[in-house]
Copies of this chain bind each other. A is one copy, B any other.
Amino acid sequence: MDERELWRELGQQLRVDAVRASAKAGSGHPTSSMSAADLAAVLLASHFRYDFDDPRGKGNDRLVFSKGHASPLVYGLFRAAGVLSEEEFGTYRQFGSRLEGHPVPVLPWVDVATGSLGQGLPIGVGMALAGKRLDRLPFRVWVICGDSEMAEGSMWEAAEHAAFYELDNLTAIIDVNRLGQRGETMHGWDLSSYSDRLRAFGWHAIEIDGHDVEQIDAAYREAQTTTGKPTAVVAKTLKGKGYSKVEDQNGWHGKAVAEEAVEELGGIRNLTVDVPKPDHGEPHRFETSGGNWPAYEVGDKVATRKAYGEALAALGGDRGDVVVLDGEVSNSTYAEIFRDAHPERYLEMYIAEQQMVAAAVGVQVLGWKPFSSTFAAFLSRAYDFVRMAAVSQATLAFCGSHAGVSIGEDGPSQMGLEDLAEFRAINGSTVLYPCDGNQTTKLVRAMADLEGISYLRTTRADTEVIYSAEEEFPVGGSKTLREGDDVAIVTAGITVPEALRAADALAEEGISARVIDAYSVKPIDAATLCSLAMPIVTVEDHRAEGGLGEAVLAALAEGGATPHVAVLAVRELPHSGKPAELLAAAGIDAGAIADSARHVVQEAAAVS
């Protein structure tokens, strides 16, 4: 079979397989797969370089299906590559199958989960950045995008960053099948609406007929010889191509089509393609000469955000695989300390938080260890990306600075008040909230070895160092800072000093308050909490919902403990003011803590 015939036959096979898989499952997205089948066939047969036996291999090209709903096409490709049996292919969408409704990395050849549209291209930017700046290998990143998802702003963050970083190793293949889920897209088949925009963003763009295999092949060749800029292949296609009953018809998105389509498509084929392996040599490694870990004197003052930056720079000195990304606020998060120490491993993401998180997902696919930072409030901009990163089983470390009302005059738009709730709810996450410099240092070091999504919450203000530099802070632990039996104050971060001051005031009144620093918010130190035979006051510079207080309540419930608990947290809309004024107004300063402690102690006395 000559190459052109192979392309055409393979395209038909992929269509047939999409129909078969979805028909058997009774659901799925065959029509969205059929439009992109020729684009995928030519790629697999003649351009893709990949070692299916070593999917983590650093020289491999990467293929991302940004339009993840075209999963039957993804699985059809793996079948065509000879790595997926017909038997397993038939398990599509069944419970226990690796072939889920949208691709997930349970399959070794899937790098990242897609299905939330607009994420694949920005993740591809991260992979291409890794290829250019970190691994320094000439692998290519191919991203198959839908036309509907071009409406997501994140696609334009990706367009901007890909051009700015001159990612000529990145090719976006845009499957312009005209039809979204519920009707026509904004631009229908106006290919120039996409290519003009992308060219204005600095891309090379090629418009083709996405069912003409020779045009597809020529475009891919052109992409590979274009230097200094990424290439977009903007392909006019037909949704449901090849089955006359559904081809270019609205109303067939996400619906299985009848097996009768197989006949019209020329029947089942069993072509396999021998995908050539890459041979690029070894990836670049960054030499390191040891980290200069900070040690703060007890009683000195340092902001936890600053300690984050200093620890990060030290970590980068120990480990050449650590990479740092920041959203144009590195002089606030102090990621700039890492940038100045290790400029080659610092990726400026400008004010594009979605692209920042997506790039981190992309670079960790290649084995790098990304730490990403911005204000805690602005990580909420990328929450869908964090959520999906967990589905991707990605290992990512985040730092959110400027948490809570304690930031002061900048006001509520800049205050991270929902971040503990956000990150606690992420599958398999770790949530850490240090109160001083030495604790921050140890927690940053610990994050480097954690799997999954980890989050460090830092604060703006300088705070007193209360722990010696020798103290250890295991994830899942806590520190009892003050012993006491009448009431326990459980807190973390900026309110730890407030709790200590409250305990002092209470001691003068004869109330003995235990103070527990629950720096590990998730997993929380359930054993310590459940052993408390006294009423509890929890305190946090965060909204009451989903924060430390509820984490404590959940741990107590899980352990069968039933003490009285008062939850002090932010319950109103804060304003601008001095930090101390705002902590007082929110009812989370030393005075409010002491008041609450007195109240629960009196209640306990009345009961007993």
Contacts and interface: CB of A to CB of B under 8 A. Distances in A.
Nearest to A382: B384
A25 B409 contact: yes
Interface in A545-579: 545-547, 549-551, 553-554, 557-558, 560, 562-567, 572-573, 575-578
A424 interface: yes
A573 B418 contact: no
Nearest to A572: B427
Interface string A280-322: 0000000000000000000000000000000000000000000
Interface string A405-432: 0000111111001100110111110000
A414 B115 CA distance: 7
B414 A421 contact: no
B564 A151 contact: no
A460 to B, nearest CB: 12
Interface in A50-66: none
Interface in A167-206: 180-182, 185-186, 196-197, 199-201
A116 interface: yes
A355 interface: yes
Interface stretch (A32-40, A266-274, A387-395, A486-494): A387-395
A413 B557 contact: no
Contact of A101 (B152, B186, B377, B414): B414
B575 A95 contact: yes
A231 interface: no
Interface stretch (A74-82, A133-141, A216-224, A346-354): A346-354
Contacts of A428: 573
A562 B557 CA distance: 9
Interface residues of A, number: 108
A589 interface: no
Interface in A131-170: 148-149, 151-157, 160, 164
B387 A94 contact: no
Interface in A10-56: 25, 27-28
A393 B148 CA distance: 32
Given A68-B413, A377-B116, A181 B328 contact: yes
B553 A544 contact: no
A364 B207 CA distance: 41
Contacts of A585: 95
Given A351-B148, A426-B418, A581 B95 contact: yes
A543 B411 contact: no
A93 interface: yes
A499 to B, nearest CB: 18
A588 to B, nearest CB: 15
A541 interface: no
A467 interface: no
A411 B544 CA distance: 31
A440 interface: no
Given A350-B151, A414-B101, A577-B94, A164 B181 contact: no
A413 B114 contact: yes
A249 interface: no
A346 to B, nearest CB: 12
A421 B429 CA distance: 15
A517 interface: no
Contact of A104 (B101, B381, B411): B411
Given A152-B351, A197-B197, 20 more contacts: A94-B577, A95-B575, A116-B414, A151-B352, A152-B153, A153-B355, A156-B157, A181-B328, A182-B330, A186-B350, A197-B201, A391-B413, A421-B425, A424-B545, A425-B545, A427-B573, A549-B554, A553-B553, A554-B567, A557-B567
16 contacts: A68-B413, A115-B413, A117-B351, A148-B328, A151-B352, A182-B336, A185-B350, A197-B197, A383-B384, A418-B422, A418-B426, A522-B545, A553-B557, A554-B567, A560-B603, A562-B563
